[in-house]
Every structure is written in structure tokens, then in C-alpha cells.
Amino acid sequence: MTNVLEVSNVSKSFGGVIANHSISLDVEKGKITGLIGPNGSGKTTLFNSIVGYHPIDEGSIKFRGQELKNLNVQKIARLGLLRTFQQTRTYGKMNCMQNMLISVSHRNANFFDMFTSYPAELNEKAEHLLEFVGLYQKRKLPSGELSFGQQKLLEFAMALMNEPEVLLLDEPTAGINPTLINGLIDRLQRANSEFGITLFVIEHNMRVVMNLADKIYCLAHGEMLASGVPSDIQNDQRVIDAYLGAH
């Protein structure tokens, strides 16, 4: 029951707008944690703060006990904390295999590793992961030519290739055809159970997040509103009000 990620009283504002105000939460190792909240509640800002995309105004973010708030994105990624993007981002001109290979972890890369070639095992691993997400047949196509849903799957596979300890997923099912969502949820669960990756997921799709998450945090207006197991959150009147807009 250890917390791999500890966010304490994190605040971030942009100009006059307070995006996050004194947010605290814990992500438990090996579990799936959900982050919900109406639009504009500050979820993506919080993700950005955690991965070091911008400096925070106040508070502390600890990953395995190590303070992250002064580190930049690359360093944090190399520690094993990755994120996927809301508007899926892949390397559009490179083909899927290349996207996968470059996603191999750079944690222990020294200067001269830049000039080596990729061994056969990594090629095989990339192929297996592409198969895992169902993209094996498209592996030689430039990723920019895949459909939106396929790119999302590729981005997910790239993250798995990196073998992160914690993966922050920003709306993984957004824009996905409803018939394909079950397949994606299944893969997320397997990533958690088989590969042991801790997941921290922003989601708008209630069905998805209630089935997937072990624990859920709810943000509203930049502040932490409620937290608990899915059944508690579903019945929490404050959460319902936040989504339906009662004042």
C-alpha cells in the first residue's frame, strides 16, 4: 500500500486565472486511479504540473519520494513517469515501428548509446506491442496516416514500450468509436495487471472510469472536491452537482 505519486497542496495559476488551488492527492502503486471533473476544472493543468511541463506556484509533487517540482519534462520522463496527450501526439512522418523504437526508455542512455543500432529484441518487442494494440499490419505506415483512434492506440503502445512505472493518461477514450472502447479498456487493464504499470487516468466517460479505477478523485473549479472508491463518488451529491451545474 505505497503511494508512488504524492501531490501536496499544489497550486498553479496563469495570469489571473487560478487553474489549480491547493490540490492534494495520492496515487497508489500498482493500482488504477481516476481523475474526473467537469470541463475547466483543472485536470490537464494538474497533469502538466506533475510531468513538469510548467513550474508550479506552490506545493510539492513527490514520485517515489523524490521531489519533482524543480525537474523538467525530460528528467521526469526518464525517472519513469510518462503521460499521453489529450490531442494524441505521435511522430507523424515516421512509421509505427520507428515510433515504437524511439520510445524505448532513455533512462540509462549514456552519450555513446546514441550511436548504436537497435538490437533484434527491441524490434521484436515493438512488434509484439503493436500486435497487442492491434496495429501490427500498419507498422510500416507513417503514423500520420493512421486514423485518430489508431494513433491513440499507437501512442499507448509507445508508452508501454518505454516501460514506465506510472503512466498518466489524458482522456484515453475521447474520440474513440464506442464499439472500440471496450477493447481499449481491456488493454488498459492488462497493462496494469500484466505489465504492472500504475495508471492515473483523466476521463470524462463515467462508465469507463467507474469500471476501471480503484480510486477516483474529483476536481471542480480548480479544487479537490471529493475522493473515494467509485461507488462512493457515484453517489456523492457534490460530484453530481458539479457536473450538472447546480450552484
Partner 1 sequence: MIDNISLLTLAPILNVQLILDGLFIGAIFALAAYGLALVWGVMNVKNLAQGEFVIMGGYFAWYMGSLGIHPIFALPVAVIVMFGFGWIVYVVIISRVVGKDMFTSLLATFGLAIVIQQALNLAFGPEVQIAESGFGTGSFFDGNVTIAYIKLVSFAICCLLAILVVLFMKKSRMGQAIRATSQDARAAKVMGIDTEKVYAFTYGLNAAICGAAGVMISMIWVIQPFYGVPHSIRSFVIVVAAGLGNLPGVIAAALGLGVAEQYGGFVFGAELQQATVVGLLLVVLIWRQLQMRRQRQAVQ
Partner 2 sequence: MTFTRIEIVAIAGLLLVGIFGPILFPAYTFQIAVLWLMILFAQTWDAMGGQMGYNSLGNIFFFGVGMYICSVTQIGLFYDVGVYTAAFGADDAKFTDTQYFLGLAAGLLFAGFGSALIAALIGWTVFGLRGPYFAIGTLGIALAAGELLGAWEWVGGGGGIALPVYPGSGDGKSNFFYILCFLSAVATFVFLKWLFSTRFGLAVNAIRDDEDKAEAMGVHTLRHKTVAWSVSAFFLGISGGLFGNMTGFIEPLEVAFPTITFGIFMVAMSLLGGTGTLWGPVLGAILFHVIKETTWTYFLGWQWIALGVIIIVNIVFFQQGIMGWLKEKRPAWFGIEVEEAEVERAS
**Site of interaction with partner 2 (CB under 8 A):** 51, 53, 72-74, 77-78, 82-83, 85, 89-95, 98, 101-103, 105-107, 109, 111, 113-118, 124, 127-128, 131, 136-142, 158, 162
User: Which residues sit opposite 3 in a β-bridge?
Assistant: 28
Q: Which is nearer to partner 2, 77 or 201 (CB)?
A: 77
CA angle 38, 201, 155 (to 5 degrees): 115
How many residues sit in the footprint of partner 1 (CB under 8 A)? Answer: 6
- Give whichever of 93 and 221 is closer to partner 2, judged by the CB atom: 93
Task: Look up cell 453530481; give the residue.
Answer: 240
Which partner, partner 2, partner 1, none, binds residue 113 by CB below 5 to 8 Å per kind? partner 2
Q: Which is nearer to partner 1, 53 or 243 (CB)?
A: 53
Q: Least distance in Å: CB of 22 to partner 1? A: 21
Among residues 53 and 136, whose Cβ is nearest to partner 1?
53
SS3 per residue for 50-91? HCCCCCCCEEEEEECCEECCCCCHHHHHHHCEEECCCCCCCC
User: Which runs of E-coded beta strand occur in the chain?
Assistant: 3-14, 17-28, 32-36, 58-63, 66-67, 81-83, 166-170, 198-202, 215-220, 223-228
- What does the alpha-carbon distance between residue 135 and residue 155 come to, in Å, rounded to a whole number? 11
Site residues (CB under 8 A) for partner 1, limited to 45-104: 52-55, 72-73
Minimum separation from the CB atom of position 148 to partner 1 (A): 20
- When the beta carbons of 107 and 221 are compared against partner 2, the nearer one is 107
54 binds, among partner 2, partner 1, none (CB under 5 to 8 A by kind): partner 1
Q: How far apart are CA 52 and CA 70, in angstroms?
A: 8
C-alpha grid cell, residue 229 = 472508491
Give the one entry of partner 2, partner 1, none that residue 193 binds, where binding means its C-beta sits below a cut-off of 5 to 8 angstroms depending on kind: none
Give min distance, CB of 69 to partner 1, in A.
Answer: 11
Residues 100, 106: Cα–Cα separation, whole Å: 13
Examine residue 147 and tell whether it contacts partner 1 (CB under 8 A): no
Identify what 91 binds: partner 1, partner 2, none; CB under 5 to 8 Å per kind: partner 2
Q: Residue 158 or residue 226: which is nearer to partner 2 going by CB?
A: 158
Looking at the Cβ atoms of 54 and 107, the one nearer to partner 1 is 54
d(CA 10, CA 24): 7
Q: Which of partner 2, partner 1, none does 55 bind, CB closer than 5 to 8 A by kind? A: partner 1
Query: Cα separation of 18 and 97, whole Å?
Result: 41
Residue 217, SS3 per DSSP:
strand
> Torsion angle of alpha carbons 42, 46, 52, 57, nearest 10°?
80
Tell me which residues touch partner 1 (CB under 8 A): 52-55, 72-73
